[in-house]
Amino acid sequence: MKLSNKIPIIVGITVVAVLAYLLWSSPNEKPGTTSMGNEQVHEITHAHGLVVSVENSNILYIPTHHGLVSLTNEKEMYQVGNVRDDLMGFSLHPSNPNIFFSSGHPARGGNSGFQKSEDKGITWKKVSNGVSGPVDFHAMTVSPANPDLIYGWYQGGIQRSTDGGKNWEVVSGEVLAIQLAADPKDENIVYASTPNGKGVLISRDKGVTWSSLSQELEDGQVATIAIDPNDINTMFVFSEKLGGLGKSTDAGKTWQKVSTNFNGETVLYIAFDNKKPEAIYLLTHKNTLYKSTDKGVTWIQINLQHQT
């Protein structure tokens, strides 16, 4: 399997794009309801992420090309707020459930810079432009170990903020990143999945210098990387070299391919549930959603159609 045939990765001004369709349901709730949104969604286009709510395991957030979508109880899907901006980089605050971070493109065009929401994604405000911005971080991560430490990839360089996104500096220009993932426990460690045959790169000095995480992932693209917040020795990647989804239980030194092939679709995003260590979600390039309840050993597809 060649990931290059499945993942539309172009470093620079283009990004991983995803397209899938869901059936229409009439809107029947208003802003501030338990659905976290104000309009039921009939389709999701260009998903840019997948995360589980910090406070509620029943809520998933999916940032898209046209704003933020919430999925509640694996069936009720709503647009969050009235913002329809392209949310490229997207992260949740690790402990404050009201605070979200994003970057990308306003619906009117241009770049958003680094943004923050203090009402669960309903409204957004710009915090800063970043270096040589306004930036549009195609990859971004907030350190769970230190929420003031944030990384973003823009125009071929890794930018870092140590004050919650107010000020930024370029710390490395050698990394082409599809995704960035900060270590859940050690604020010095950050990972990057790459499109150029370097597999997964790891930095142990907050993004300044980088080295290969594992030779088993080299010479192939890696579409995504995720670290278990409850067990940092457990990681998942979707790797060209492995031929699909891979799991490591020794902090990335060795890898085993997961037997499920997800109908031949490319896995783009993986999300852990902090409150339920056994639960993991993933989203493919066709916006097919899967869930594991045994730490990634087996996976079942969540059928979103006819459930709104």
Specify the CATH number of the domain 3-302: 2.130.10.10
pLDDT digits (tens, 9 = 90+) for 58-85: 999 999 988 999 999 988 889 998 889 9
Segment (H or E) for 125: strand 125-128
Question: Is 240 a residue whose pLDDT tops 70?
Answer: yes
Under DSSP, is residue 127 helix (H, G, I), strand (E, B) or coil?
Answer: strand
Measure Cα distances from 26 to 64, 169, 276, 280 in Å. Answer: 20, 46, 32, 30
Mean pLDDT of 2-30: 35
The domains of the chain are located at: 3-302
**pLDDT per residue as tens digits for the range 96-154:** 999 999 999 998 899 999 999 999 999 999 999 999 989 999 999 999 999 999 999 99
Residue 27's pLDDT band (cuts 50, 70, 90): very low
**Other Cβ atoms closer than 10 A to 2:** 10
What pLDDT score does 305 carry?
Answer: 57
Which candidate, 130, 115, 126, places its Cα nearest to that of 161?
Answer: 130
Choose among 25, 4, 123: nearest CA to 78: 25
Q: What average pLDDT does range 260-266 have in this prediction?
A: 93
What is the pLDDT at residue 61? 95
Model confidence pLDDT, tens digit, residues 29-58: 333 333 345 688 766 678 899 999 999 999
Per-residue pLDDT band at 3 (split at 50, 70, 90)? low
Asked if residue 235 has pLDDT above 90, the reply is yes
Q: How many CA atoms lie within 13 A of 275 on its CB side?
A: 10
